[in-house]
Amino acid sequence: MSAPVRPKPFLEPMYCKGCLRCIDACPRDCITPGTEINPATGLVPVRLHLENCNGCTLCIQACPEPYGLRLETEPPGFEGDFVLEDPAKLFGEKCVPIHSEGDLPDNHIALPACEAMVLKGNYAAAIGALLAGCRHFFGYPITPSTEGAELMAKILPRLNGSFVQAVSEVAAVNMMYGTGGAGLPCMTFTSSPGFSLMLEGISYMIGAEVPGVFVNIMRAGPGLGNIAPEQSDIKLACRGLGHGNTRAIVLAPSTPQEMLDLTREAFALAFRYRNPVVILGDGFLGQMTGKVRLPATMIRPGLPAWAVWGDRAHRHNLINSIALAETDLEAHNHHLNRKYAAISACEQRVDCYRCADAEVLVIACNTPARMAKGAVEAARAQGVKAGLFRPITLWPFPIDTLAEILPGVHRIVVVEAGPGQLEDELRLALSHAGIAPPPIDYVRRCGGFLPPQAEILAGILAPEEVPA
C-alpha cells in the first residue's frame, strides 16, 4: 500500500533555530541535524530528506518557530513580509499618533509666606520632594537616612500618595523604575550600602531614560564600615552607576536649606533630562538641623508625553533599555552622550566664596565645605588669600568656573571627609578640559571623621605639613 499523497513539509532555513524537536517528532526519520551554519542567523538548521515522508505534519506541529517548517502548499512566507501579530487584533483599534497636546504641564501653586522652620537635613529633603510634587516613595530603612522615609510614610497617605517599604533596596529601585516609567515623580532615601544595591536598577533607569530621585545620605565604608558620615560614594555616583554608559546629575547640598532646595530642583532636572538624579548628602548633614525657608511655590506635576499613560493614545510609548541590534544600541548611546554633553554644558553649579583673588583655593562640598569656609576666613584673617570653591554639582563638575578662577591660584587644597573621591573628580575634570593645575594638596579624614577646621587651616597655611 502506497502512502497517500499529502503535501510535504518545507524548511525555511532563516527561521530554523536548530532545536531538533522535529527530529524526535518525525516517525519516519526524515529529518537529520544540520551540519552547516546559516550565515544569516549564525544557527544550524536541520536538513529534510523527504523520500519516506508521508506528510503527517507532526514535524510542523513540533516546531516552535512559527515559520520554521510549513507545508509546500502554503503560500511562501517572504522574509520580512509578515507581522507577528497585529496589536490591533489583540487590543482593539491600532495605536494612533499621540493626541498631540504633548506634555500635560506642571501646575505651580503659590505657597503662603511663612516663618523659617528648623529642620533636620533629612526632613528638609523630604519636604523638598513633597513640594516638587513627589507622591511616590519606595525605600528600605537604613541609618542615617531613615527619618526622610519616615516623614514620607506619615504624610503621603494624606496627600493621596504611596509609601512602600520594599523588601530590600533592590526591590525599591525597581519600583521606582515602574513609577518613573509611568511619568510620575518618585524618590528614595538610602545610605551607602543600600545605594550599592540600587546601582543595577539605576543603570536600567538611565538606559530606559526614566526619571527618579535618589537621596543618598552617605556613611563610612567600605563594606560594613560604620554609620558615621563619610563622602564615600562620590565615585559611585559620578563614575559607577551600574553597568554601561551611565551618567546622572549629582547634587551635593551642604545645609538643610540646600537639602530642601536641591531635592526640589532634582525632580525638575530628572524630568527635564529624563534621567535619574542623585543627591549626595553626608550622614552629618542628614542629621543636622538648620533654618529652612520654604520656596514660593509648590508643584502639582503634569504628565510628560513620553510616559506610559495606559491609554490608547500612548500605546507606542515604550519604556525599556534593550536594543538588540548593534546599530540601535550604538545610536542610543550616541543619543545618551548628546544628553550628557548638554547636561555638562548647562548644569554645572558651584558656590564661590572669596575666590576672585584667591591664591590658595580650597575645594570642598557637603558638610566639610562648612568647616572649610571657617578655615578660609581664618586664613584670610592671617593675611593669606584663600577662597572656597564649593561644587554643587559633582557631576558635571563645575570646571568652566574653575577654569576662570585658576589663573590666579597658586595651590589647590581639596578637603574631604573621605578617601579622595572628590579629588579624583577634580583631576578628571581638569584633565578632560586640558588644564594644567597648580599643585594639588589635600586634607582628608575618613572612617567617620570630618576634617576639623584647624587641620584645614594648617593645610591652607603650610603645604609641607598636610597630614597624609
Q: Per rule CB under 6 A, is residue 384 in the interface with ligand TPP?
A: no
| Interior/surface letters 176-189, b for 16+ CB within 10 angstroms, e for the rest | bbebbbbbbbbbbb
Q: Look at residue 343 and give the partner it binds from ligand TPP, other proteins, ligand SF4, none, a contact being a CB closer than 5 to 8 Å depending on partner kind.
A: none
Site for ligand SF4 in 113-172 (CB under 6 A): none
CA angle 135, 366, 248 (to 5 degrees): 55
Annotate 347-378 with b (16+ C-beta within 10 A) or e (fewer).
bbbbbbbbbeebebbbbbbbbbbbbbbebbeb
> Is residue 416 within 8 Å of residue 229, measured between CB atoms?
no
CB of 239 to ligand TPP, least distance (A): 21
Give the three-class secondary structure for 179.
helix
H helix or E strand, kind and range, residue 217: strand 212-218
Does 210 help bind ligand TPP (rule: CB under 6 A)?
no
| Nearest-approach distance from CB 68 to ligand SF4, in angstroms | 3
Distance, in Å, from the CA atom of 410 to the CA atom of 353, rounded to the nearest integer, reads 17
**Does the protein bind ligand TPP through residue 141 (CB under 6 A)?**
yes
Indicate the residue among 61 and 168 with the shorter CB distance to other proteins.
Answer: 168
Query: Closest-CB residue for ligand TPP?
Result: 142
- Chain centre distance of CA 153: 24
Interface pick for ligand SF4 out of 1, 2, 4, 17 (rule CB under 6 A) = 17
Q: What's the min distance (Å) between Cβ of 139 and other proteins?
A: 8
Q: Look at residue 20 and give the partner it binds from ligand SF4, ligand TPP, other proteins, none, a contact being a CB closer than 5 to 8 Å depending on partner kind.
A: ligand SF4
Contacts of 236 (CB under 8 A, 6+ apart): 195, 196, 199
> How many Å from the N-terminal Cα to the C-terminal Cα in the chain?
96
How far is 235 from 240, CA to CA, in rounded Å? 6
The reply to whether 283 sits near ligand TPP by the rule CB under 6 A is no
Binding mask 164-193 for ligand TPP (x = CB under 6 A): -----x-----------------------x
Minimum CB distance to ligand TPP, residue 228 (Å):
14
Beta strands in 159-203 (DSSP E): 162-165, 186-190
Cα-to-chain-centroid distance, residue 300: 23
Taking CB under 6 A as the criterion, the residue among 194, 201, 221, 398 binding ligand TPP is: 194
- In DSSP notation, 275-325 reads SEEEEEEEHHHHH-EEEE---SEEEE--B-TTS--SSGGGTT--------S
Q: Does 21 bind ligand SF4 (CB under 6 A)?
A: yes
- The nearer residue to other proteins, 163 or 395, going by C-beta atoms, is 163
Rounded to a whole number of angstroms, the minimum distance from the CB of residue 165 to ligand TPP is 9
Smallest separation, CB 140 to ligand TPP (Å):
5
Rounded distance, CA 417 to CA 407, Å? 27
167 binds, among ligand SF4, other proteins, ligand TPP, none (CB under 5 to 8 A by kind): other proteins
By the rule CB under 6 A, 55 interacts with ligand SF4 = yes
**Does residue 225 bind ligand TPP (CB under 6 A)?**
no
Q: Say how far apart CA 249 and CA 292 lie, in whole Å.
A: 24
Question: How far is residue 126's CA from residue 187's CA, in Å, rounded to a whole number?
Answer: 9
Q: Which of 123, 140, 177, 442 binds ligand TPP (CB under 6 A)?
A: 140
How many other C-beta atoms are found inside a 10 Å radius of the C-beta of residue 157?
A: 11
Closer residue to other proteins in complex, CB, 25/153: 153
DSSP 80-140: T---S--HHHHHSSPP----S--SBPPEEEEPPP---EEEEHHHHHHHHHHHTT--EEEE-
Burial zone of 82 (CB within 10 Å; 0-12 exposed, 13-18 middle, 19+ buried) = exposed
Q: What, of other proteins, ligand TPP, ligand SF4, none, does residue 77 touch, CB below 5 to 8 Å by kind? A: none
Cβ proximity to other proteins: between 193 and 420 the closer is 193
Surface-to-core class of residue 210, CB atoms within 10 Å of its CB (0-12 exposed, 13-18 middle, 19+ buried): buried
Give the binding-site size for ligand SF4 (rule: CB under 6 A): 29
Region of 95-103, 139-147, 256-264, 290-298 interacting with ligand TPP (CB under 6 A) = 139-147
The one among 50, 197, 268, 352 contacting ligand TPP by CB under 6 A = 197
Residues that bind other proteins (CB under 8 A): 140-143, 146, 149-150, 153-154, 157, 163, 165, 167-169, 193, 224
Q: Which is nearer to other proteins, 22 or 172 (CB)?
A: 172
95-128 core/surface letters (b: 16 or more CB in 10 A; e: else): eeeeeeeeeeebeeeeeeeeeebebbbbbbbbbb
Q: Is position 59 an interface residue for ligand SF4 (rule: CB under 6 A)?
A: yes
Q: Least CB distance from residue 32 to ligand SF4, whole Å?
A: 10
- Give the residue with the Cβ less far from other proteins, 25 or 170: 170
- By C-beta, is 162 or 165 nearer to ligand TPP? 165
Binding site for ligand SF4 (CB under 6 A): 8-9, 11, 16-22, 25-26, 28, 30-31, 45-46, 53-59, 62-63, 65, 68-69
Binding footprint of ligand TPP on the chain (CB under 6 A): 140-142, 169, 193-194, 197
